[in-house]
Amino acid sequence: MTTELAALKALRFDHVVTEDDVWNNDLSCHVDGLHPGVETAVQENLDALRADGHHSSTGIVVEGELGVGKTQTLKWTQIQTQRRGGYFFLLYAIERGVPFHTQLLRSLRLDLEETRSGQRAQASRFVDDLAKRLEVAPLTDVGNGSRSLPRVAVEAIVSALPEHDTRLGSEYQDTLRALILLASPAPNDRKVGSVYLQGGEINESARRRWGFQIPVKSPSVLISEITRLLALSGPVVVAVDQIDALVKTMSSSPQAANVREQVIDLGHGLMDLHSRSRRTLIIVSCLPDSWEALVGTMVNSFADRFWRTQQLRNIPDPEIAERLVARRFAIDYRRVGFRPDYGTWPVHPSAFRTSTDYTARRLIDRIRHHVKGCLNAGIPSELFDFAEERRSGQSPSALQTEFEKLAAAADVETILGTRSEDRVMPLLLGAALDAWIREHPTRADRFVRLEVKPERPAAVHALLTSKSNTSAWHFRVVTSVSPQPTTVRIKAAMDGFAGSADSRLYLIKAKPWPTGSPVGSARRALRDAGGIEVDLDDADVRTFEALRQLMNRRPDGLEEWLRSHQPAGKTKLLRQILTDV
């Protein structure tokens, strides 16, 4: 018989929905009514597209702060789309420096080809459904194991399309051929289809064998043709998620001008998709500020193409919160054969009266905090009020002792080594800024630390931005004591700094800089550009290294210790820079 402690240990709290999770068709944890406005909008649009094969494309925006369930909503949308015989595609996280059409085309091709959740690949389902509509033999009737498709089987579908749709049948023949080959059981056939559908040029032999007339097409043309061909069979959904990191860095990145160009490319790509597709629902999932910033870069007609659904917010009522927790717990309890007195144990039903103050993610985090406290104490206890704080794990005094030991053991000389500067400093400053944000209860709502791409020489080692305006703080450490490397680092920071009037660039001197003409000229240029020189002393380095180790390990009680001791905020460097923000 499973004990209560063993049952608590079986509970899983890995609740963040990832790209792979979107394709998992398990809705056992889903609770209808969590976001009714968005659910209604998606269902109504899908039903309209399903009913009318010539319906124009439409766009909606799924907005909400972190943790409200935007990506979970896309998972639910994927399932609703498949149930209606449609086709779902996900562009998850915009990659810096890659054109939007190139990224979207790659997602379309992969999502057509992949077999997920035990279902047939979308390309295979489309080709067989189209063959049925055209009254020709589907590939399942003509395929022979892993052998190549007969050319006649491909041409039967291609030649029958003009009678069904004259324009698509005459202009989109090559793209249709590639889709048919992508659905083939033969790897060599699929390779030809895949190369063509990613905008690559197939060789002369393959062109002759399969009858391709145009050797290569641009990504934007292929996207339009693929979505219009799919629309012959059912509704199409294209979801774009995780655009926030790109949009946020538009005003604060060292390469702000280039980022802005890519954000504009994203907007133009979405407009192009809207105007050149058919029977397609385009969903953009993002933070409210990200959408406002994207709209601000585009012409007025851009916003008109996308309807802003009701913004996702906190859990709407206690009953939904209780069902959400009960469903999650039921899976884990069933796995270990535990039967609780009530479905949400150890969270008492009365606790949910305050659940509407939480997003779904924060609610689960609060429960995880309580469960960890029970396990650490070795005594199960019920949670009667989400507002009550429970001390768990190491006490603040114990963590302070560990912190002091880690700081004393830090090897400052190695940390400040010139060769490891661009690898180590982003980790140290990142941990320091993350700790600084957590030291005050309101900072997480006001600030965000952005990840910095490793470069040599790095333009910036850490970047802190405001969530409410264009303020940004750029940090670049210089450990060199030689004139030429020091000058190169200063210039790299200046060249990459293109922030707004509210942005600041801090050049942090880990060691005294050399004197002389090259460095002196670079420092004067830095001051003229608004850059600020600050010193980094050994005590701060020790603090940052200790915080790095603690933040990586995240021991229980860390948040409480950070708020009570505020080690990052007490450092000389951050006091000098962030005291007044």
The tens-digit pLDDT sequence of the chain (581 residues) is 578 999 999 998 876 677 888 888 877 777 887 888 888 999 999 999 999 888 889 999 998 887 788 888 999 999 999 999 999 999 988 888 899 999 999 999 999 999 886 788 999 999 999 999 999 988 766 655 568 889 999 999 999 999 988 888 889 999 999 999 999 989 999 999 999 999 999 999 999 999 999 989 999 999 999 999 999 999 999 999 988 888 877 765 556 677 889 999 999 999 999 999 999 999 999 988 889 889 988 887 898 899 988 777 888 889 999 999 999 999 999 999 999 999 999 999 999 998 888 888 888 888 988 898 888 888 888 888 887 644 444 556 778 889 999 999 999 988 988 677 888 899 999 999 999 998 887 788 788 888 776 566 678 899 898 877 778 899 999 888 788 888 888 888 887 675 556 788 999 998 888 777 788 888 888 888 888 999 999 999 999 999 999 998 888 778 888 988 899 999 999 999 997 77
Cβ neighbours of residue 288 closer than 8 Å, sequence gap 6 or more: 63, 64, 65, 311
- Asked if 216 and 240 sit in the same domain, the reply is no
What is d(CA 133, CA 126) in angstroms, rounded to the nearest whole number? 11
Q: Which two tokens stand for residue 529?
A: 């550009």
Task: Give, in order, the Cα–Cα distances in Å from 225 to each of 19, 86, 112, 212.
Answer: 25, 16, 14, 15
- Asked if 367 and 487 sit in the same domain, the reply is no
Please answer whether residues 465 and 447 qualify as being in contact, where contact means their C-beta atoms are separated by less than 8 angstroms: yes
CB atoms within 10 A of CB 145: 6
Q: Which two tokens stand for residue 428?
A: 């140290």
Query: Does residue 16 lie in a domain region?
Result: no
Q: Tell me, what's the pLDDT at 393? A: 47
What is d(CA 355, CA 367) in angstroms, rounded to the nearest whole number? 11
Q: Tell me, what's the pLDDT at 256? A: 66
Which of these three, 279, 313, 347, is where a domain ends? 313
- Asked if 460 and 569 sit in the same domain, the reply is yes
Exposed / middle / buried, residue 297 (Cβ in 10 Å: 0-12, 13-18, 19+): middle
CB atoms within 10 A of CB 201: 12
Quickly list H helices, 183-255.
187-197, 204-210, 219-230, 244-248
What is d(CA 244, CA 290) in angstroms, rounded to the nearest whole number? 6
Query: Does residue 38 lie in a domain region?
Result: yes
Query: Does residue 90 lie in a domain region?
Result: yes
Please answer whether residues 578 and 572 qualify as being in contact, where contact means their C-beta atoms are separated by less than 8 angstroms: no
Sheet containing strand 236-241, edge to edge, reads 87-92, 236-241, 280-286, 58-63, 306-308
- Asked if 445 and 528 sit in the same domain, the reply is yes
Query: Does residue 400 lie in a domain region?
Result: no
Nearest-5° Cα angle at 154, 148 to 155: 140
- Asked if 502 and 532 sit in the same domain, the reply is yes
Query: Does residue 525 lie in a domain region?
Result: yes
- Asked if 220 and 240 sit in the same domain, the reply is no
Task: Give, in order, the Cα–Cα distances in Å from 298 to each of 7, 108, 275, 289.
Answer: 53, 25, 15, 15
- Find tokens 């400040």 and name the residue: 416
Task: Give, in order, the Cα–Cα distances in Å from 68 to each of 246, 262, 268.
Answer: 20, 27, 28
Cβ neighbours of residue 470 closer than 8 Å, sequence gap 6 or more: 251, 252, 499, 500, 501, 502, 503
The domain in which residue 374 lies consists of 315-392
Q: Tell me, what's the pLDDT at 335? A: 92
- Asked if 491 and 545 sit in the same domain, the reply is yes
- Asked if 93 and 155 sit in the same domain, the reply is no
Query: Does residue 258 lie in a domain region?
Result: yes
Query: Does residue 108 lie in a domain region?
Result: no
Of the candidates 232, 237, 202, 238, the one whose C-alpha atom is nearest the C-alpha of residue 217 is 202
- Exposure string of 333-365, with b = 16+ CB inside 10 Å and e = fewer, is beeeebeeeebbbbbebebbebbbebbbbbbbe
Which of these three, 333, 361, 392, is where a domain ends? 392
Q: Tell me, what's the pLDDT at 453? A: 63
Which of these three, 392, 422, 446, is where a domain ends? 392
DSSP structure class, residue 185: S
pLDDT (tens digit, 9 = 90+) per residue, 91-123?
Answer: 988 888 899 999 999 999 999 999 886 788 999
Q: What are 449's strand-pairing partners?
A: 464
CATH code assigned at 247: 3.40.50.300
Query: Does residue 15 lie in a domain region?
Result: no
DSSP structure class, residue 214: S
What domain count does the chain have?
Answer: 4
Print the SS3 string covering 351-368: HHHHHHHCCHHHHHHHHH
- Asked if 349 and 304 sit in the same domain, the reply is no
- Asked if 459 and 571 sit in the same domain, the reply is yes
Cβ neighbours of residue 111 closer than 8 Å, sequence gap 6 or more: 88, 89, 90, 122
Of the candidates 292, 190, 273, the one whose C-alpha atom is nearest the C-alpha of residue 231 is 273
- Asked if 509 and 450 sit in the same domain, the reply is yes
- Asked if 224 and 175 sit in the same domain, the reply is yes
